[in-house]
Structure 1
Amino acid sequence: MNTWDISSAGERKAALRQDLQLVLVHPQIPQNTGTIARTCAATSVALHLVKPLGFEIDSTRLKRAGLDYWPFVVVNVHESWEAFVEFFQAQPDPKRMLGFSKLATRHYALPDTYRPGDWLLFGAETTGLPPEAHQASVESGGFMVQIPMIETHVRSLNLAVSAGIGTYEAIRQLDQPGSR
């Protein structure tokens, strides 16, 4: 795993939420990843990128989409799914993976869906989460969730939109008075 250092990593890590992580598995479109990084900066949530990526990490489109917010984002790049799982397993408890998929049946905003230590997984724009991510979600004590949509005219939601919806719902539930 590599941490993409754009500014003082220590300052950024100190300001991070400790109860939530966002993971992009094989993202393909740099603009989506840059937009998601901006969401991570706005929420103090760490961003994990699992290779292979559909772009170079130094892509100008990626950096442009993240604007001048990159100094406020902690980005961890994992060389493979296996390397990410190894990293995840080495983290302290509590932790579990929640995968987002249009194939899931559980609604993403049900009460008490999110707990401190959750890692939100989002798949590639073209293929979604790979089967091993679905399996890892269940094995970690988590599950798969779905953001509902009417598919009459739309195949899927934009990855950046989905990540924003999931992240903010998780924060809403985690930050409720009296939440776990």
Structure 2
Amino acid sequence: MDLALYQPDIPQNTGTLIRLGACMGITVHIIHPAGFPITPKGLARAGLDYIEHASMREHDSFSQFEEWRAAEGRRLVLLTTKASQSAYDAAYQHTDILLLGRESAGVPDSVAERADLRVRIPMRPGLRSINVALAGSMIIGEAMRQIGRFTELS
């Protein structure tokens, strides 16, 4: 199970998700361009000292990420408000990569079309979305629960 961030534009959310990755033992992929420099200093406030414990991989573009993903044979699961399937009705796999879009704009249609599975978090009508770091945490937790990863961390 990995987490991918598509062109993140808020360093605090990115730092929070890298910290989550460190604590949960998952790799966080950063798909560039990001809206800020991906540096320890830029991520330090939210990531604290967890950055040094994180597994992080940067990709220069979505096409580069896709080439890597295809070579690895990994399924891409997009978390999006435009999906009809609940993230809690999906069946996750050990090799899944959960993709989160930009905080300001999500992902373009061309990226969404590449996803093997699109899921959403059910929420009250009339509200747009949940903070990307919170949403990613919620679904990483559900996916890890389903595949038994929490027993590996004990």
- Structure 2 length as normaliser, TM-score? 0.91
Pick aligned residue for 1:98 from 77, 81, 100: 77
Question: Displacement of 1:42 after TM fit?
Answer: 1.1
Large movers: runs of 4+ above 6 Å: none
Q: Percent identity among equivalent residues?
A: 34
CA–CA separation in structure 1 for the residues paired with 2:77 and 2:105: 17
Three-state SS of the structure 1 residue aligned to 2:16 is: helix
Q: Please tell me whether residue 109 in structure 1 is matched to residue 88 in structure 2.
A: yes
Distance in 1 of aligned mates of 2:125 and 2:117: 23
Q: What CA distance in whole angstroms lies between the structure 2 residues aligned with 1:31 and 1:134?
A: 24
**TM-score, normalisation: structure 1:** 0.78
Q: 1:134 aligns with which of 109, 112, 135?
A: 112
Deviations 1:68-90 (A, max 9, x none): 10121111110001111011112
Match of 1:144 in 2: 118
Aligned position for 2:152: none
Count residues in correspondence.
149
**How many angstroms apart in 1 are the aligned matches of 2:87 and 2:103?**
19
Q: Which amino acid aligns with 1:131?
A: D
Q: Does 1:121 align with 2:99?
A: yes
Look at both structures and tell me which one has the larger radius of gyration over its CA atoms: 1
Match of 2:70 in 1: 89
Looking at structure 1, the residues matched to 106 and 91 of structure 2 have their Cα atoms a distance apart, in angstroms, of 21
Equivalent residues of 1:24, 1:122 under 8 A apart: yes
Residue 10 of structure 1 aligns with which residue? none
* CA distance, structure 2, for counterparts of residue 69 and residue 26 of structure 1: 21
Instruction: Show the 5 A alignment for 1:23-172.
Output: 23-58=4-39, 60-91=41-72, 93=73, 95-110=74-89, 113-137=91-115, 142-152=116-126, 154-172=127-145
CA RMSD of aligned residues (A): 1.5
Q: Which amino acid aligns with 2:79?
A: F
CA deviations on 1:108-162 (whole Å, 9 max, x unpaired) are 011x51012101000000111221221111xxxx21000112243x421101001
Gaps of 5+ in 2: 150-154
- Distance in 2 (alpha carbons) for counterparts of 1:115 and 1:59: 31
